[in-house]
C-alpha cells in the first residue's frame, strides 16, 4: 500500500513531546517534521516562503497560518514524505487544525495527545538545573547532582533558567491551554484523538504511543 501515514503529536511544553516525536519517527521510519525547524530552514536558506515569513516577523506580526501551512506542505511534498510523516508543533490552534484537516482529507491521520497535569510540568521545569560549562542537565528531584550546585559531568556551576521559574511556566501553560483547548475539543469531537498518559516514564510513554498506533492500524485493517 502506498498510502501516506500521517501522525500528529500534540502536548504541552515540557511534556517530552519533541523527544517522543524523534523516537517515534525513527522507529516508524517517518520524517520528523517540526514546524520550528521549517521556519529556521526557510529563513536560513532565504527561500521565497522564508522571505515572506521574515517580513511579518520584522514588523512584529505573527506569521499567518496560511504561510505556515504553505511551508508545511512544501516540506511534506518532498519524496521522503511519500510514505507519511510525523508532525510536531503543528497545529497549535483551532483554525490551524481545521485548515490541516481540510488539506489532509481522505488520508490516514492519527492524532496523539500527550497529557501531563500542569503541576507536574511545573515541577519538571522548575527542578531543571543547567550547567554553565557543558550541556549536562540535572534535576533537583529526578537526577540531583552529587554535590549541590555542581555539575556531575564537568564540575561546572549549575543554574536554573528564568524560563523555568514556576510562575513563568504557569503563565506559559495558561497561554498554551487557552490556544489549544478548542483544538483538542475539536479533535475529540471528531473522535480522532488518542490521549496518552504523559506522566509515565519516557519508555512507557513511547510504548503507549506505539500500542495506540498499532491498535489504530489493526482496527482499520479489520474494517
What is the binding site for Zn ion (CB under 5 A)?
131, 133-134, 136, 151, 153-154, 156
Shortest reach from residue 143's CB to Zn ion, in Å? 13
**Assigned C-alpha cell, 178:** 487557552
The three-class DSSP label of residue 158 is: strand
Q: Which helix (H) or strand (E) holds 197?
A: strand 193-197
Looking at beta carbons only, is 82 or 154 nearer to Zn ion? 154
Q: Return the DSSP state at 157.
A: B
Shortest reach from residue 160's CB to Zn ion, in Å? 15
What whole-number distance in Å separates Cα of residue 57 and Cα of residue 202?
35
What whole-number distance in Å separates Cα of residue 194 and Cα of residue 211?
11
Looking at beta carbons only, is 8 or 131 nearer to Zn ion? 131
> Pairing state of beta strands 128-131 and 158-159?
antiparallel
**Among all residues, which ones are annotated catalytic?**
17, 92, 128, 161, 172
Shortest reach from residue 212's CB to Zn ion, in Å? 37
Looking at beta carbons only, is 118 or 152 nearer to Zn ion? 152
Looking at beta carbons only, is 51 or 133 nearer to Zn ion? 133
Shortest reach from residue 140's CB to Zn ion, in Å? 16
What whole-number distance in Å separates Cα of residue 60 and Cα of residue 211?
43
Cβ burial, residue 147 (10 Å; 0-12/13-18/19+): exposed
Amino acid at each position: 500500500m502506498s498510502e501516506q501515514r500521517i501522525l500528529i503529536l500534540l502536548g504541552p511544553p515540557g511534556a517530552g513531546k519533541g523527544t517522543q516525536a524523534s523516537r517515534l519517527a525513527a522507529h516508524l521510519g517517518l520524517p520528523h517534521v517540526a514546524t520550528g525547524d521549517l521556519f529556521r530552514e526557510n529563513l536560513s536558506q532565504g527561500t521565497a516562503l522564508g522571505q515572506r515569513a521574515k517580513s511579518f516577523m520584522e514588523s512584529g506580526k505573527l506569521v499567518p497560518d496560511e504561510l505556515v501551512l504553505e511551508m508545511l506542505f512544501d516540506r511534506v511534498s518532498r519524496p521522503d514524505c511519500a510514505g507519511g510523516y510525523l508532525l510536531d508543533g503543528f497545529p497549535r490552534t483551532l483554525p490551524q487544525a481545521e485548515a490541516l484537516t481540510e488539506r489532509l482529507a481522505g488520508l490516514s491521520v492519527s492524532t496523539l495527545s500527550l497529557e501531563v497535569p500542569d503541576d507536574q510540568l511545573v515541577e519538571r521545569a522548575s527542578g531543571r538545573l543547567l550547567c554553565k560549562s557543558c550541556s549536562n542537565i540535572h534535576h533537583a528531584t529526578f537526577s540531583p547532582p552529587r554535590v549541590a550546585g555542581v555539575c556531575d559531568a564537568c564540575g561546572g556551576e549549575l543554574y536554573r533558567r528564568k524560563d523555568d521559574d514556576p510562575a513563568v511556566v504557569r503563565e506559559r501553560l495558561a497561554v498554551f491551554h487557552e490556544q489549544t483547548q478548542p483544538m483538542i475539543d475539536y479533535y475529540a469531537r471528531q473522535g480522532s484523538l488518542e490521549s496518552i498518559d504523559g506522566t509515565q516514564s519516557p519508555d512507557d510513554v513511547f510504548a503507549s504511543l506505539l500500542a495506540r498506533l498499532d491498535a489504530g492500524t489493526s482496527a482499520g485493517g479489520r474494517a
